[in-house]
Amino acid sequence: MSDPLETLRHALPAAALTTDPDVMSGYRQDRADLVAAGKPLAVLRPTTTDEVVTIMRWASSTGTPVVARGAGTGLSGGATALDGCLVVSLERMTAVRDTDAPNQTVVVEAGVINADVSRAVAHLGLFYPPDPGSFEISTIGGNLATNAGGMRCVKYGVTRSSVLGMEVVLADGKVLRTGGRTVKNVAGLDLTQLFVGSEGTLGLITSATLRLRPLPVKTATAVATFSTLEAGCRALDEIFASGVTPSVLELMDQETINAVEDHTRMDLDRTAALLIIGQADGVDALREVNTIVSCCEKAGASLAMATDDPAEGDMLMQARRLAGHATTERGPTIIEDVVVPRSRLGELLTAIAHIAKKSGIRIATVGHAGDGNVHPQLLLPDLSETTKTTAMTVAEQICAATLELDGSITGEHGVGQLKMGWLAQQLDSTALAVQAAIRAALDPQGLLNPGRGY
């Protein structure tokens, strides 16, 4: 039998294409435990945009579906392999193509790790603000594809706030370059923002021009614990009304606090119903976190304190950064991603607690209080069909409660495959039709991540 990949093999360097089952097994799935992985035809690991062009021309000519992949840290099944697809991993495209300190921009390829961007420009007194929980392992291409957020987005915005332009390989192999290096640019439609959050359904992002910011001259951190959810949510309302703009404002519920303490002793209050961590940067950092402390005390905090000591601040932030790992190491987990207007966080947290109690599924909720985005983490005893069915019902109930509170079924993880069935509950038929028309215009054969995103 002839090799269906023969033409593609000859057109690419030998190291760019593999069909070794052992190698491909590591590229079949992202971190969405409930999305079944298909068997790809091959895994491609290009190192240049020209190689991506070659791959997409071959895929277009043969009608082969393509699933783009970064580091595989996604949580919605958007990078999980489909049967007979090409998995195109951009992990080897790791060049920092250009750094422009005066204009505070950097051009990086899609496989560059998020945290490495800031490390690459730190000597210039600059940093890259978006910092998703996976910032030490997730790639810029994946961050762009899902419009990743993170802890600093309350002040600096999500990924779309820090991208000025892109290089994208379209379904037919054409290369599209969008945007530029200027903050202002209204020459034509804003195609850059069209691709942010598109989850690999419109094209393969190969590089991006990112906006940098000056490193803060000072950072200060506040932490507060509360005996009830109600008191903690009152404190959040006080903080929102105070006029301060923290760079970070995070929350952890009791289940999460205990998971972190079980993982690493940090002397957190295991009895607290809610823990709030706030951080401010800039010349007024300490004044701003002292305002946060005052708001928490007014709302009835059991403990509230502030520090401008960098080591103490890093220790407090580490408790929050450990939350995801501390919960997932306990066993199978579904990490949800919902967002509501921040004034309705209290209602959402109360609803999640009620759903957990009624279902018997333990839920550890952690999230970005500053923008209303929380991650209820369903802690599953196993992955039996009964458990998975119950878990999906619980996830649906959380999404339904979110929509009732004028929220969104995803804030930064994307729709992927996991939430495709819930999208129509949030978007009306006109919105869905417009998105389908855009997708069909750019990918008429439906080759790019079919059945995912929207």
DSSP bridge pairs for 377: 335, 364
pLDDT tens, position by position, 158-200: 999 999 999 999 999 999 999 999 999 999 999 999 999 999 9
Please give the full DSSP string across 40-96, using - where no structure is assigned.
-SEEE--SSHHHHHHHHHHHHHHT--EEEESSS--SSSTT---TTPEEEE-TT---E
pLDDT the model gives residue 13? 97
Domains 217-325 and 331-444 in one fold: yes
Q: Is the dihedral of CA 149, 152, 158, 162 positive or negative?
A: negative
pLDDT score for 83: 98
For the chain, the domains span 6-89, 96-214, 217-325, 331-444
CB within 8 Å of 348: residues ≥ 6 apart: 338, 340, 374, 401, 402, 405, 407
Residues 6 or more apart whose CB falls under 8 angstroms from that of 392 comprise 34
Average pLDDT, the chain: 95
Query: Would you identify the CATH topology of the domain 331-444?
Result: Alpha-Beta Plaits (3.30.70)
Asked if 98 and 54 touch (Cβ cutoff 8 Å), the reply is no
CATH number of 96-214, picked from 3.30.465.10, 3.50.50.60, 3.40.250.10, 3.90.1310.10: 3.30.465.10
The domain made up of 217-325 has a fold known as Alpha-Beta Plaits (3.30.70)
Output the pLDDT for position 454.
75
Q: Which helix (H) or strand (E) holds 109?
A: strand 105-109
d(CA 416, CA 77): 5
> CA 98, 178, 87 angle in degrees (round to 5)?
85
pLDDT in tens, 388-413: 999 999 999 999 999 999 999 999 99
- What is the average pLDDT across 431-446? 97
Q: Which two tokens stand for residue 376?
A: 């209820």
315: left (phi over 0), alpha (psi -120 to 50) or beta: alpha
**Mean pLDDT in residue range 338-349:** 96
Residue 331: band (very low, low, confident or very high) from pLDDT cuts 50, 70, 90: confident
Distance between CA atoms of residues 391 and 91, nearest Å: 32
Whether 375 and 336 have beta carbons less than 8 Å apart is answered as yes
At residue 400, the 3 state secondary structure works out as helix
Residue 1 reports pLDDT greater than 60: no
* Residue 56 in this model has a pLDDT that exceeds 90: yes
Count Cα atoms within 13 angstroms, Cβ side, for 398. 32
What percentage of the chain carries pLDDT values higher than 90?
Answer: 93
Alpha carbon distance 379, 30 (integer Å): 18
When pLDDT is cut at 50, 70 and 90, the band that residue 220 belongs to is very high
Chain center to CA of 110 = 15
DSSP code for 134: T
Give the 3-state secondary structure of 351-386. HHHHHHHHHCCEEEEEEEHHHCEEEEEEECCCCCHH
Residues 167, 206: contact at Cβ < 8 Å? yes
* CATH entry, 6-89, from 3.30.465.10, 3.30.43.10, 3.40.190.10, 3.40.50.300: 3.30.43.10
**What span, in angstroms and rounded, lies between the C-alpha atoms of 244 and 98?**
35
* Rg for the chain, CA atoms, rounded: 22
Tell me the CA distances in angstroms from 60 to 179, 192, 274, one per residue in order.
26, 23, 51
Tokens in use for 278?
Answer: 């706030």
Counting every residue written for the chain, the total comes to 454
